[in-house]
Structure 1
Amino acid sequence: MDDIFLNPFSDMYAFTGSSGNNDTSSSNTNENQPKEKKKEAWESESAFGTFNKPPKLMAIEEYSRWSRKFEDWLMAFAYASWKSLKNGYTLGDKTGETLSSAEEIESFVAEQMCVALLFQSVREDIISLIDYSNAKDLWNKLKAKCIGSEEIVKNKRKLLRK
């Protein structure tokens, strides 16, 4: 077995008591190490996502980096939803009540999964006020909210050049 599995939580609950030494400085650093490792693991999990969770957008300023990670994650773990994100939902009823063919149902489920994953991966205060009609519309409006319109982007570039 050549593969090594590194678990960031492996020594989180390890005993950190002193061995009779009166040196309190070493025991304080040992007590903080599990908390620091847990914090680092949480931050990396939020930033990169896992098999079950997409990467999380925690701040508007991180949108450009997050959007690439989210698209890659969606393409790898929910391909039908990624297609829905890129093309939009056009088949059948928007409520899903009158869907009949397997293709319509599959497309509707992929659309709803994509919207759910977007809501799961974006902080509530960033996405809460966006009104959308489908996943593609939500994606485009989220981009406009985080980056700004073309005019705002041009003005930012001009400001940076000055």
Structure 2
Amino acid sequence: MTTTLTEGDKAPDFTLPRDGGATVTLSQFAPGKVVLYFYPKDDTPGCTLEAQDFTRLAAEFAAAGTTVIGISKDSVAAHEKFCRKHGLGIILASDAEGHTCEDYGTWGEKKNYGKTYMGITRTTFLIGADGRIARVWPKVSVKGHAEEVLAAARALQG
């Protein structure tokens, strides 16, 4: 991983292509709160469950003044297929070149079944209305995660 962001750091701005053919820019949501969750791959079991959980709670995040954005290196076409297949209702952004993953420190060496490879570490950031990182969840375990993030978003002023 190239960068380690911590609570209080200014969240790096980005503009990425998103599902539906538009782009998404972090700063467009100011002064609202944003949940950025980085995930490895569309349509894999853990990533599907995480996206479904955030979608299930989307109205509650909106009521808390918080936008949810999922980011992976998958293409926009893959995101759109993923959304259609699972009825997802959150923004999915494509970081195909990996610059945003690097800026947020989520791209790095991973190990699985004795193999070492490069990939996205499942990480979530809660960004406050001031554009600063209010909370970081590194190496996320999916079960119950969206609920925990929602509670933190509700507790965060702004």
In which range does the TM-score fall when normalised by the shorter chain?
A: under 0.3
TM value normalised by structure 1: 0.26
TM value normalised by structure 2: 0.26
Q: Between Structure 1 and Structure 2, which shows a larger proportion of helix residues?
A: 1
Q: Between Structure 1 and Structure 2, which shows a larger proportion of strand residues?
A: 2
Q: Which has the larger radius of gyration?
A: 1
Higher RCO structure, 1 or 2 (CA under 8 Å, sep 6+) = 2
